[in-house]
Amino acid sequence: MARDADGNNLEDVKYVKTSKILLAPYDATKKLTADMIAPSVADPITELADIFPVATSSVGLITSDGAPQDSRDADDASEFHQPGYLLTADPNLSLAFTAAEDNELTRRITIGEPDANGVYHVSDIIQSEKWFAYQETVYRSNRKRRRLGVVQITGNEPAQDTRGETSGLALTAQWQIDPNVDGGASRYLQSYVDPK
């Protein structure tokens, strides 16, 4: 659909159809580069299969009221004596979502790994390790937004286990500047794939 006389285009509305989030253990021998999620890549999941095996990397289902949400947090900007000049503080960029599935991946990122007997020895419900992350959002127009980077889980708020209702883990993942992502120049890589 083309823009109307007022410059509006319904195809550009961010009407979300679905999202997916993949997490894989950080591997210092692997690099995440822009060409991996470029619009010319038909299926990045296939291209990234050696980093994100879908069977073990998918966070799985996300609750409808806990859909992915971006946020930015930073200290106040530095002001100068001369009016009109500000120096913004270094930001923290985060992705919050509520994982509905209780699977091996969600357990590993929250309570760790079990011992040889299958028992978890829990000292915290957030693990400090870094993760490679791939996020894809599909919009009603079939436009896709792809993200690739390194995250650390910085928040976990388990929902109340109410009988007959879906319970989930409200997780916050903070995007990290890392030398294995874009040579340390970006917090994450992002691309858009427009429908033909």
**pLDDT value at residue 1:** 58
> Alpha helices, DSSP H only, in 111-177?
none
Task: Find, among 114, 134, 140, 115, the residue nearest to 175 by Cα.
Answer: 134
Spatial contact of 176 and 19, defined as CB atoms under 8 Å apart = no
**pLDDT value at residue 14:** 84
**pLDDT value at residue 36:** 96
**pLDDT value at residue 151:** 98
For the chain, which residues make up each domain, given as ranges? Answer: 14-72+92-193
Using CA atoms, how far apart are residues 100 and 196, in angstroms rounded to an integer? Answer: 33
Spell out the per-residue pLDDT of the chain, length 196, in tens: 578 888 898 888 888 999 999 999 999 999 999 999 999 999 999 989 999 998 899 999 999 888 999 999 988 888 898 988 888 888 899 999 999 999 999 999 999 999 999 999 999 999 999 999 999 999 999 999 999 999 999 999 999 988 998 889 999 999 999 999 999 999 999 999 998 7
**pLDDT value at residue 175:** 98
Using CA atoms, how far apart are residues 7 and 186, in angstroms rounded to an integer? Answer: 32
**pLDDT value at residue 64:** 87
Model pTM score: 0.89
Backbone phi, then psi, for 129, in 5-degree steps? -70, 160
